Amino acid sequence: MIRNFVLSLSAVLLLTTGCNAQSTNKGFENRTSDQVVAIEKEPNVVLIDVRTPGEVKSGYLVGTDLFFDIGSSDFRQKVLDLDRTKTYVLICASGARSSSAAQFMLDNGFEKVINMTGGMRTVRNNNHIVRP
């Protein structure tokens, strides 16, 4: 009887959590900076840096398309004006603000949203950073 309970509980947990290691409970994917660099030229992939202009001046990821400061008053409207059929990769310094931005996008009807885990702090290859 206990064995059946454990098996049933295991099946429920597997079905509710899924098997995709890159998925999160929030619904967006997490990818490393190397994984983001590998997909940045794919069709319909748009990289959005959500850091402040001052942070961006220190360097940004190669292939970044848009710079929307998450702290600015027009951030939400800029995001809501985007094409919801594209894949968006959100980037910040550590992954916290980009995670918030990714959740905001999902909550507003965007289907494919990726958070760059660890943010710009995890970019090890200087060839992947543009220094303005």
Q: How far is CA 75 from CA 63, 101, 123, in A?
A: 20, 9, 25
Report which secondary-structure segment, H or E, holds 131. none
* Catalytically annotated residue among 36, 79, 90, 92: 92
Q: Is 92 a catalytic residue?
A: yes
Closest CA to 37 of 131, 125, 103, 132: 125
Gap between the Cα atoms of 30 and 114, Å rounded: 6
Residues tagged active-site: 92
